[in-house]
Amino acid sequence: MAIETKRIREDFPILKREVHGKPLVYLDNAATTQKPQVLIDALVEYYSSYNANIHRGIHALAEEATGKYEATRQTVADFIGAPDASNIVFTRNTTESINLVAHAWGRKFLTAGDEIVLSTMEHHSNLVPWQTLAKEKGVVLRFIDIDDDGQFVQDDIERHIGPKTKLVAVTHMSNVLGTINPVREIAERAHQHGALVLLDGAQSVPHLPVNVQELDCDFLAFSAHKMLGPTGVGVLYAKRELFEEMDPFLGGGEMIRRVQLEESTWNDVPWKFEAGTPNIGDVCAFSAAIDYLSGLGMENVRAHEIEMVQEGVRRLANVPGITIYGPESAERRGGVISFNLDNVHPHDLGTVLDHHGVAIRAGHHCAQPLMGRLDVVATARASFYVYNEKEEFDALIEGIEAAARLFRAPVHTGA
Ligand code: 7TS
């Protein structure tokens, strides 16, 4: 393995703790990842040595904090292959980044009859903002469906993206199925019809090499907390001309150039979209998480997760009564495995696993329409990251077998 998990695990203090007397097996990385010591140190360093408000002060601390905050913007731009730091706006999370586009771009440029193309595998955060906009503006929503392998139906891509399409907003990687979508092709088709493309990168940016210029997406939204970074920091990438023509999302301090009693003018991009005091400490620390991932190499992160998924699917498939969702091929999916065990509710399964020290997620994963499409109310989900190792599947399988025994489903060892 290109990723040395034994060495990496030493960098994550939380992995040393026990849960219910068992070593922690953390398989809920699609929800949020754990934090390396360098990230924790970066937060402590900010608050213990250069805490100050940015962009306004002329004193040394304010200059240091401003410098680090803006340096992180450059680090983020480099990480996703953006042409310039001004292509990066800091928000609170993916959800806020998508809402920013819906408000600042959608409200300004969309009118009745325009179409937005989404998909049936979207996270609620890439559905609800568009539903609200659609109601307000009379915009029509269309949905690319999935096939039995959990991939976009090709015909739907061709059928739905057409001359009326103004925006295609889809997830790069599904948080439930793990599906990695053909977003490069989708962008090409959208652009042929003059439509823009927003990628929900909440799951892809942490797990795959992502280059916005190669993908040619117009917007990309993601969250720091899913990529070893702190909570409370999101990113919105956009092409410069889009940020220029969009109206501000929130009004207040920092985002203005000149304010008069009756009207105001706006600050330059990207500050036009960062009203008020931002999450300075967390943004500054975020660069430590990105440096850590860059040090590992995103190609290696991806290769590690392909191996983990292959092994995970192999082990799970040996357990009688298990249904696994998502693409057959590990190359077509990220480090996420959603599954169900016959006659056992995923919440019950999650509770039994928790008593084995294994943290998974159970529920609808903020993708209720997808649950309907899969004809289930919920799934259990194991999701991986750089510190997970194949040995951890032993505890997962043991816990599932214990749940099967408890709830009287047939069982058989799955090694
Ligand atoms: N989009 C996708 C694809 C996601 O997986 C998530 C979070 C979001 C958007 C929203 O991110 P946030 O940082 O704004 O909350 N997904 C999950 C999950 O799968 N379990 O918990 C959160």
Ligand 1 pocket mutation, candidates 125, 126, 177, 208, criterion most atoms within 8 A of CB: 125
Determine what percent of the chain is predicted with pLDDT higher than 70.
98
The CATH number assigned to the domain with range 39-294 reads: 3.40.640.10
Query: Across the chain, what does the average pLDDT equal?
Result: 96
Whether ligand 1 lies within 6 angstroms of the CB of 123 is answered as yes
Ligand 1 pocket mutation, candidates 179, 219, 226, criterion most atoms within 8 A of CB: 226
Per-residue 3-state assignment (H helix, E strand, C coil) for the chain: CCCCHHHHHCCCHHHHCEECCEECEECECCCCCCCCHHHHHHHHHHHHHHCCCCCCCCCHHHHHHHHHHHHHHHHHHHHCCCCCHHHEEEECCHHHHHHHHHHHHHHHHCCCCCEEEEECCCCHHHCHHHHHHHHHHCCEEEEECECCCCCECHHHHHHHCCCCEEEEEEECECCCCCEECCHHHHHHHHHHCCCEEEEECCCHHHHCCCCHHHHCCCEEEEEHHHCCCCCCCEEEEECHHHHHHCCCCCCCCCCEEEECCCCEEECCCCHHHCCCCCCHHHHHHHHHHHHHHHHHCHHHHHHHHHHHHHHHHHHHHCCCCEEEECCCCHHHECCEEEEEECCECHHHHHHHHHHCCEECEEECCCCHHHHHHHCCCCEEEEECCCCCCCCHHHHHHHHHHHHHHHCCCCCCCCC
Whether ligand 1 lies within 6 angstroms of the CB of 202 is answered as yes
Query: What confidence tier does 2 reach under pLDDT thresholds 50, 70, 90?
Result: confident
| CATH 3.90.1150.10 intervals, the chain | 5-30+298-406
Query: What confidence tier does 88 reach under pLDDT thresholds 50, 70, 90?
Result: very high
Which ligand 1 atom is at minimum distance from the Cα of 383? 19
At residue 388, does pLDDT exceed 60? yes
- Per-residue pLDDT tens digits for 294-339: 999 999 999 999 999 999 999 999 999 999 999 999 999 999 999 9
Which ligand 1 atom is at minimum distance from the Cα of 92? 14
Which pLDDT does position 320 carry in this prediction? 96
Of the candidates 61, 256, 275, 366, the residue annotated as catalytic is 366
pTM for this prediction = 0.97
Please indicate whether residue 217 is annotated as part of the active site: no
The CATH number assigned to the domain with range 5-30+298-406 reads: 3.90.1150.10
User: Which whole number is the average pLDDT over 64-83?
Assistant: 98
| CATH 3.40.640.10 intervals, the chain | 39-294
Whole-number Å distance, alpha carbon 370 to ligand 1 midpoint, is 14
- Per-residue pLDDT tens digits for 375-385: 999 999 999 99
Which ligand 1 atom is at minimum distance from the Cα of 97? 14
Whether ligand 1 lies within 6 angstroms of the CB of 181 is answered as no
Which ligand 1 atom is at minimum distance from the Cα of 176? 19
Query: What confidence tier does 154 reach under pLDDT thresholds 50, 70, 90?
Result: very high
Whether ligand 1 lies within 6 angstroms of the CB of 30 is answered as yes
> Which residue minimizes the CA distance to atom 16 of ligand 1?
31
At residue 1, does pLDDT exceed 60? no
User: Which whole number is the average pLDDT over 273-289?
Assistant: 98
- Per-residue pLDDT tens digits for 22-65: 999 999 999 999 999 999 999 999 999 999 999 987 899 999 99
- Per-residue pLDDT tens digits for 243-264: 999 999 999 999 999 999 999 9
